[in-house]
């Protein structure tokens, strides 16, 4: 599927539900922070007899659409699970292609993100990314640093268990240096040592492709998030599916362990 075909396919998806409307209750209850496990790229490609990388390439259209809609709705933070620590175990050719797509996305989307007043951040073991990706990530973040709208957070080379291990090591070093009493370690101390210390916890976690697992994503942060799972594969995820998730979120009663 070439670039023209992808744009036409994306436009067809955007129009597929005849301009869906978000209900007034849902508009009045927009989550501050949405996190998404973008799953199903490979299956999307397989069902069409295409290489797996075509699923990743078409998934970029879903990222573009979701970022735009979240910004329009007033969502403050959007975290996308873009590349996990486990993904390094995929075939080298696929990983290399994904890294090239990532660098291309970071470069080519600056204009779109700037137009939508989006600020870019990233969490994970960024040092493990290829140097050309790290360089482009730094350039894109710098170009968007003064924007004041939606903060897009890419989870790159990210793993929830890895994050907790590194946070534990950091806290242990503080104790060893005499800067922290073990008796003072509480939830706030742990949260302050996570990759995500500068952001609020997600209110809503969306997973595409129908899989019922969290896949090592934001294990600490999603403790009280509402989960919405859609059978839609990520390359087909657009405004209608996002609106459906937001409507479901509005129907939930968040008790945070209380009544």
Which two three-digit tokens encode residue 185?
Answer: 């370690």
Query: How far does CA 238 lie from the centroid of its chain?
Result: 15
Q: 52 vs 31, 44, 46, 136, 231, CA distance in Å?
A: 32, 8, 7, 24, 19
CB distance 60 to 38 below 8 Å: no
DSSP class of residue 50 equals -
Question: Residues with catalytic annotation?
Answer: 39, 87
Helices and strands (H and E) in the chain: how many: 10, 6
Q: 17-22: long-range contacts (C-beta < 8 A, 24 or more apart)?
A: 17/239, 17/240, 20/239, 20/240, 20/243, 21/243, 22/73, 22/243, 22/246, 22/247
């Amino acid at each position: 599927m070439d670039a023209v075909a992808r744009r036409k396919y994306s436009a067809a998806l955007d129009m597929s539900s005849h301009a869906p409307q978000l209900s007034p209750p849902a508009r009045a209850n927009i989550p501050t922070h949405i996190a998404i496990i973008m799953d199903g790229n490979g299956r999307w490609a397989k069902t069409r007899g295409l290489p797996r990388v075509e699923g990743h390439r078409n998934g970029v259209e879903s990222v573009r659409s979701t970022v735009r809609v979240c910004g329009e709705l007033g969502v403050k933070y959007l975290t996308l699970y873009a590349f996990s620590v486990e993904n390094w175990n995929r075939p080298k050719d696929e990983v290399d292609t994904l890294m090239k797509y990532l660098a291309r996305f970071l470069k080519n989307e600056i204009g779109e993100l700037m137009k939508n007043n989006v600020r870019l951040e990233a969490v994970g073991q960024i040092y493990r990314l290829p140097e050309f990706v790290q360089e482009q990530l730094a350039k894109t973040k710098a170009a968007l640093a003064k924007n004041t709208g939606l903060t897009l957070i890419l989870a790159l080379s990210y793993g929830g268990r890895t994050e907790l291990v590194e946070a534990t090591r950091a806290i242990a070093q503080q104790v060893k240096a005499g800067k922290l009493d073990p008796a003072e370690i509480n939830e706030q101390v742990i949260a302050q040592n996570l990759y995500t210390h500068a952001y609020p916890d997600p209110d809503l976690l969306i997973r595409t492709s129908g899989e019922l697992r969290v896949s090592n994503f934001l294990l600490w942060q999603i403790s009280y998030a509402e989960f919405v799972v859609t059978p839609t594969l990520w390359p087909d995820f657009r405004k209608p599916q996002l609106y459906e998730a937001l409507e479901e979120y509005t129907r939930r009663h968040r008790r945070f362990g209380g009544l």
